[in-house]
Structure 1
Amino acid sequence: MVLAALIKQRTRLALSISVLGALLISQQARAAEHIAPTPWSTITSSDISRLTPHGEIKPLQVGEDEFISLYREYMSAEQRGVVLIIPDWQNLPTNNAGINFLRTHLTDFGYTTIAMTVPDINWQASTEQRTAEDGNNTEEATDEQKEVAPESNSEAEKEAAETQTDTSENEVTPKHVDALAYINDDVIDDYKENLVARFEALYQSALDEGGKIVLIAQGASAGVLLEHYASFPNNNIDAFISLSSYLPNYERNQQLNTLVSTISPPLLDVFYSNDNPDLLLSVADRKRWVKRHSKYDYRQRELFGLRSEPQQHERLSKEIDGFLRRLF
């Protein structure tokens, strides 16, 4: 009996110790710092480096950051130029939406192709900017409060309180919403800044090749680059080809319809019959602005069917080759 009682006490003690250990481990796990996930660009760059032939990989530098570009040399008797290929945001330069086909098959037409990886999207760009502005405002307010005397502060507070009560009773500021922004402007501007920085490095590498420079951009990347070329930058290109160009913001997408008619390079605007609804509603408006601004080197082409079909890729490459042959 005594032995059985001792065994029960030891088991209870062991259970209590195990429970305490589990509680301590759970508390330590809760107190552990948050580990940020691996950036999307890092994962895609490692996959491309591992799966793509090393002869095609050409790393480029933007400040302290490095990104990957895919290089393929022309395979015709004469070189006709260099094609810079930029996929849609959060897309690979080897995607099956026409980008990888153009990257590998435009070399048969005499073009050297250089495709690049796109930067990450900072979805917290708006909140980070607001916190920085709030911090600056609080610092300025504290500095002003230190300069004002306590007596004048009390008088100013009384006057401010009286004016606030008067305005709140008499006036009610209306709030009118013109349009619904799908994605904040700060997020798009942050992506645009990083993409343009990478594009300038890609452009400098194309200058070393010589010949004509053609830019092919897709989706939102094409939209922000159209905005960039509407400001007339120094890096001139000989042709701009946009594939399903749009911006995921209603107001900026409406402005994009005007900007396509103001850029200086010749523009081939390609879209699909089952494309983004906002883009399909904008194609007619783009033609109107082109007529108003008399941009005679603008062409618009609609492709039918899925963008991943092999026949669609063939037609896309022929449309691009025909457009470029009319130019040079």
Structure 2
Amino acid sequence: MPLFAMAEQQEPAKSEQTTEQKSEQETSNPAQEKSSSTQTKKSNQPLPIKELDLQKQDLKHYLSKERISPLLVGPTEYVTLIKNYSSANSKGVAILLPDWQQGATNPKAINYLANTLPEHGWTTITIQPDNKPDNYPSIAINTTEQKKANEEIISTYKNDFSLLIKAVMAKAKEYPGIVIIVSQGMHSTLLIDMFSQENSEPANALILLSSYFDTSAEFAFEENKRFAHQLAMSEYPVLDLFLKNDHPKAITYAKQRKSITEQEMKVYYRQRQLNNTVTGYYPEVELLSQIHSWLRAVGW
């Protein structure tokens, strides 16, 4: 066969191969474009909203504007709920502080007191505090590393917490009468620690609800014992309440606090266990009765 004929036969085959390659490239491009588009959509998806931000949004959405009072503490804006006293005479201000991970309107005790105490002469200021810090308590394998990490995290949280309480206390002093604080859980231990500092002015009285120092199991006894000693050495009146059906640590360390306060002979300290049916929920009538009787015993 002549050479020019062989060349003519080979060229079409080369041309067909080139067309097939182009076709394969063209069919592969849409898939790549689709994959790229999917990645772009994923990267543009908004991050989950923090629980604290959701709680603030809910308060602003569902409650009347008259009750909501934003409080600026440094660069951070907190939400407080204020309800003025509705009785003939004003007794003072009750600052209500829920535990971390709980909202300002949680039904376990705080919301009931916020709505009921004004009828008995108390202006209530309910705080929406920060949530529990991330990575607390530490899960480090080494015990020393756990303790160091826990101390660093709590120290940072304490600083912000202290600024918040001081700002709320300043707000409370705008109203006539004494200032008491009703605090739940871990925040009670931080309050006692804060008031034990020389440069901190304590409230006139403190009411504790199911309080204990929340930390790793290895350090729980030590930290709660320190909390009990700080409480026993305090000079302001304290009503210490917990429940029959409560968090196991709240029950265990309540007994420890009572023992240490009796040894130190702290004045104006009363501890009571209330009977309840639902774990963590305070019986409303009994709760209010205990608070009233204790305040009368103190002289208010």
TM-score, length-normalised on structure 1? 0.74
Instruction: For 1:168-187, list aligned pairs within 5 A.
Output: 184-187=150-153
Gaps of 5+ in 1: 1-7, 128-175
Aligned-residue CA RMSD (Å): 3.1
The residue aligned with 2:91 is 80
Give the direction of change, closer, same or farther, for the CA distance of 1:261–1:84 in structure 2 (3 Å limit).
same
Larger relative CO (CA 8 A, sep 6+): 1 or 2?
A: 1
- How far apart, in 2, do the equivalents of 1:47 and 1:283 lie? 34
d(CA) in 1 for partners of 2:136, 2:102: 20
Identify if the C-alpha distance between structure 1 residues 279 and 13 changes in structure 2 by more than 3 Å, giving closer, same or farther.
Answer: same
- Asked if the contact 1:121–1:187 (Cα under 8 Å) also holds between the matched residues in 2, the reply is no
1:96 and 1:308 in contact (8 A); partners too: no
- Distance in 2 (alpha carbons) for counterparts of 1:241 and 1:114: 15
Aligned residues: 272
Pick from 207, 217, 239: which aligns with 2:183? Answer: 217
Contact 1:94 1:100 in 2 (8 A): yes
Given the superposition, is the C-alpha separation of residues 307 and 216 from structure 1 closer, same or farther in structure 2, using an over 3 Å criterion?
A: farther
Could you say which residue in structure 2 is the equivalent of 1:46? 57
Q: Deviations over 1:243-263 (max 9, x none)?
A: 011111213223112222112
Q: CA deviation at 1:289?
A: 1.2
Deviations 1:118-145 (A, max 9, x none): 0133325899xxxxxxxxxxxxxxxxxx
Q: Distance in 2 between matches of 1:16 and 1:274?
A: 65
Aligned residue in 1 for 2:237 = 266
Residue equivalent to 1:237: 203
1:228 aligns to 2:239 (yes or no): no
Distance in 2, matches of 1:275 and 1:192, equals 25
Give the partner amino acid of 1:252. Answer: E
Partner Cα separation in structure 2 for residue 16 and residue 62 of structure 1: 57
Secondary structure, aligned partner of 1:184: helix
| 1:41-81 superposed Cα distances (whole Å, 9 cap, x missing partner) | 22211110010111111111111221111011111111111
Give % identity. Answer: 25
Structure 2 counterpart of 1:281 = 252
The TM-score, its normalising length taken from structure 2, stands at 0.80
Residue 113 of structure 1: how far off its partner (Å) = 0.4
Between the aligned partners of 2:199 and 2:206, the Cα distance in structure 1 is 14
Rate the CA distance shift 1:33–1:217 in 2: closer, same or farther, 3 A.
Answer: same
Residue matched to 2:131:
120
Gaps of 5+ in 2: 1-19
